[in-house]
A and B are shown apart, each in its own frame.
Chain A
Amino acid sequence: MKLRRFIDNFTATSLAIIVHVAVLGALILSFNWTSPGAPPGSKIEPVKAVVVDESQVAEEIEQIKKREEKKRKQEEKRTRVLERDAQKAREQRKEAEKRLSALQRRLADEKRKHDDSARKQREAAAKSLAEVKRQRAEEQEELEKLKRAENDMEKRRLADEAALAVLAAQHKALAEEKRRIEDAKRRAQAERKRVEDQTRKATEARKAEQKRLAALAAAAAAKTAAEQKKKEEEIKQRKAEEARRKADEAKRKAEEARKKAETKARREQEEADLREQMALEQAQLDAQRAQLLDRHLAEYIGQIQAKVARNWIRPPGSPKGLKCTVKVAQIPGGQVVRVTITKSSGNVAFDRSVENAVLGSSPLPEPKDPSLFDREIDFEFEPED
């Protein structure tokens, strides 16, 4: 590439030379630079430009052939040199690749370490999550139990209801009997009324019989009432017990719910704490990395400044306040491949000194951290004094 450009340049330059020589010849022809005080008549010939003479063409061709032969040989030699250079370049590239792969390995290593700790943290998180799940399952189980208890209670309630129905039936039977007793009483009265006038003895006997019957009835009634009362008392007691049990149950449930909520809140707090902790550690890690990079960047800039300043020779007697900005393209390894003036100082010599300072500093220093490497760097050249 460079070679071709150079040849192009060479050809162009040859043309330029012919043109310039012709012009210069004309200039010199037109300027009388006869030696001062020289005797008139002894005119000095002006400098002549090169003109191809036809009689010399054959000889020229011969010379050209020779030159071409020579050139070809030089070309071959150069090719060999180029190949050698290419070999060297390949080796350098291999070396660079080796370095790159080492860097990549290091990076991979760092990443692996980082992944490791992340994985551990993830595992810990997963573990605590599993714990939460397990506790949730337990709670679920308790809930099931609770439901089962409720079912039992319902069954019991149904049983009680059945018992009550039986009681009601007994009650009814009792009432029936009472009614029958009433009937019997009424019948007995009617009998008494019918037989009243017939026999006194019979009356007395009847009276006794009546008394006995009344006592019997009273006893039966009392018995029925007592039984009734006892049954009602039992139901009442059972109901109260049920209510107390229910209240206890509700209280227990509430307590459980509270405990559950507390546990949940605590667990959530713990999880949040963990997350916060992880974020904090990540941030600290980032900050440390950033600080390291900052330090490396400062070092990198300092090294470049030192090298370029060392290679900067400003033209003497330049006016004050000159400033030149260049864009510099480099390849990994710091080799400067291009310097472009983005803002000229307006002074040719100053601009050239700037370009030469950068080109003369190739290869530029390399950053410790490869992530700091950039293919393009802007330079501002402005003398302090």
Chain B
Amino acid sequence: MTTMLNRRLVSFLIAGAALIAASLPPMSHATLTIKITQGLEGAQPIAIVPFGIDTGAPPPPEDIAQIISNDLTRSGRFSPLPTGDLPSRPSVATAVNFSDFRILGTPNLIIGRVRRLANGRFKVEFRLFDVFRGAQLTGYELDARPDELRRIAHQMSDIIYKALTGERGAFDTRIAYVTELRTGGSSKYALNVADSDAFNPKVVLESKAPIVSPAWSPDGQRLAYVSFEGERPRIFAQNLATGTRQVIAAFPGLNGAPAWAPDGKKMAMTLSKDGNAEIYVMDIESRRLRRLTVGAAIDTEPAWAPDGKSLVFTSDRGGTPQIYRVSASGGKATRLTFEGKYNSRATFAPDGKSLALVHGGNGTFRTAILDLDNQALRVLTKTNLDESPSFAPNGSMILYATSGNRGGTLAGVSTDGRVRQELASQQGDVREPAWSPFRQP
């Protein structure tokens, strides 16, 4: 049978060589090879069954399956099946009938259940199945207080994301952002920290004076920001666990745009103490400064490369705001952006290979990605007034603020631009989001 096929394969390959084919000796075992070059690029289908709950008891305060579903959707990598399309709703492994899901062509299935314990805590269990193979890929049981359920769900999302993509998930991370709430003639500013999906917001600092430019320390334990308390801008660093804060920079003139170096020991910032806005790097412990830029132009918004060896910043030295790169030890800066009359607020992707930035033109300001290898600029959004793009620590998404109908709102876009989504709406005008690093154990 096989040799026949082989012989036929040969004759297939050598067109018109049918006569020769019969006299050819059978080839050694060479199987049919089929090339597949066509296929859709898109989010992977996944079935997420609402988690089983105790019958009779009040339902748990969070819908774990929904949180996981939203997380995976937001990443742009997965496309959960609408709940109404689920062929069955098993919550334990023994109740799973894989053929139900095979028919739908969904390769992955998540089931789970939430049980209320006598002490008021919850036991949450989930399993991820390979539908086609009928095998479990991973599964965990976690124990949580009611207010920890959302976080448990994000952790589960991370486990699932890692199991299916091989990359670390960034769902159990946090975002910081500033809100401005106007009441009557006055404004109230707040610095907030929330889950990566913008739920669970917690106010870190409230002030009648503007707060801008929040920046995460590399260990994720502190936030640096600029506060205009006392009618002048100063750079603060605040410990998120304890709430204690310290002044980092309070030089005459502008103290702005703090950016922690990857080693956590240095901070880049914009100071105008010498008369003009220039980029400086401060050794945090000694407070010693080193000036990186010189000239009459405005240089601001420094951002570190992941290896800490160079920085990018915005400068109008060429007549319009553009992005430049300079060595961390100073020297000549090289221009990186040439497309358009406005490029600002650059930040490095975690792999250091691209920059997210705000690209302006024709009255719009949109989030874009600049590929550092080939200088290609790709606009990711269709909104008009984007600001402060910030990469997820795994590089899969970019968080930014944009002007919506009710003022500034938070939005996320997958790095390939395919999935754009507004995050849960916050009270007031939302600005200056910053995505935290990975949580450290």
Contact = CB atoms under 8 A, between A and B. Distances in A.
Interface of A: 2, 5-6, 9-10, 13, 16-17, 20-21, 24-25, 27, 30-37, 40, 44-45, 47-50, 71, 74, 283, 286-287, 290-291, 293-294, 297-298, 301, 304-305, 308-309, 311-318, 327, 347-349, 352-353, 355-357, 359-360, 362, 371-374, 376-384
A226 B102 CA distance: 130
Interface string B107-126: 10000000000000101010
A73 to B, nearest CB: 11
B32 A316 contact: no
| CB-CB nearest 5 A-B residue pairs | A348-B166, A312-B39, A359-B132, A290-B18, A317-B416
B127 A13 contact: yes
B55 interface: no
Interface string B382-398: 00000000000000000
B315 to A, nearest CB: 31
A313 B40 CA distance: 5
Contacts of A297: 8-9, 12
A102 to B, nearest CB: 18
B349 to A, nearest CB: 12
A357 B39 contact: yes
A380 B414 contact: no
B219 to A, nearest CB: 11
A294 B17 CA distance: 11
B33 A380 contact: yes
B57 interface: no
Nearest to A369: B8
Interface residues of B, number: 74
Contacts of A356: 44, 107, 132
Contacts of B2: 374
B243 interface: yes
B107 A318 contact: no
Contact of A359 (B93, B127, B133, B241): B133
A47 B152 contact: yes
B127 A47 contact: no
A290 B202 CA distance: 75
A32 B241 contact: yes
B94 interface: yes
B22 interface: yes
B320 to A, nearest CB: 31
A49 B143 contact: yes
A283 B143 contact: no
A60 to B, nearest CB: 14
Nearest to B200: A35
6 contacts: A36-B241, A283-B19, A315-B44, A356-B132, A359-B132, A371-B4
B52 interface: no
Given A290-B19, A311-B105, 16 more contacts: A10-B136, A13-B139, A24-B142, A27-B441, A49-B143, A305-B35, A309-B38, A313-B40, A317-B416, A349-B77, A352-B107, A356-B44, A371-B4, A372-B5, A381-B36, A382-B35
Contacts of B133: 359
Contacts of B243: 36-37
Contacts of A382: 35-37
A45 B77 contact: no
Contact of A286 (B22, B142, B418): B22
A161 to B, nearest CB: 69
A318 B38 CA distance: 15
Contacts, number: 213
A357 B141 CA distance: 31
Main SS class of interface, B: mixed
Given A32-B241, A316-B43, A316-B414, A293 B77 contact: no
The interface centre, meaning the residue of A290, A374, A376 with most chain B CB atoms within 10 A of its CB, is A290
A47 B165 contact: no
Nearest to A301: B34
B140 A20 contact: yes
A33 B144 CA distance: 13
Contact of A360 (B76, B94, B105, B439): B105
Nearest to A45: B145
B45 A374 contact: no
B36 A357 contact: yes
Contact of B441 (A30, A37, A355, A374): A30
A13 B133 CA distance: 16
Nearest to A379: B34
Given A9-B135, A27-B441, A316-B416, A286 B18 contact: yes
Interface in B122-163: 123, 125, 127, 132-136, 138-145, 148, 151-152, 155
B187 interface: no
Contacts of A37: 202-204, 240, 243
B275 to A, nearest CB: 37
Nearest to B107: A356
A50 to B, nearest CB: 6
Interface in B409-425: 414-416, 418
A318 B41 contact: yes
Interface in B290-307: none
B355 interface: no
B140 A317 contact: no
A40 B132 CA distance: 51
A290 B11 contact: yes
B211 to A, nearest CB: 14
The interface centre, meaning the residue of B34, B134, B416 with most chain A CB atoms within 10 A of its CB, is B34
Contacts of A5: 135
Contacts of B19: 283, 286-287, 290
B185 interface: no
Contacts of B123: 50
B31 interface: yes
A81 to B, nearest CB: 9
Contact of B36 (A31, A305, A327): A305
A272 B161 CA distance: 75
B362 interface: no
B42 interface: yes
Contacts of B18: 286-287, 290-291, 294
B1 A373 contact: yes
B163 to A, nearest CB: 9
Contacts of A17: 125, 139-141
B405 interface: no
A58 to B, nearest CB: 16
A309 to B, nearest CB: 4
Contacts of B203: 37
Contacts of B31: 327, 374, 376-378
A50 B241 contact: no
Contacts of A10: 93, 136
A355 to B, nearest CB: 8
A378 B132 CA distance: 19
B178 interface: no
A309 B12 CA distance: 22
B336 interface: no
B34 A294 contact: no
A352 to B, nearest CB: 7
A371 to B, nearest CB: 5
A367 to B, nearest CB: 9
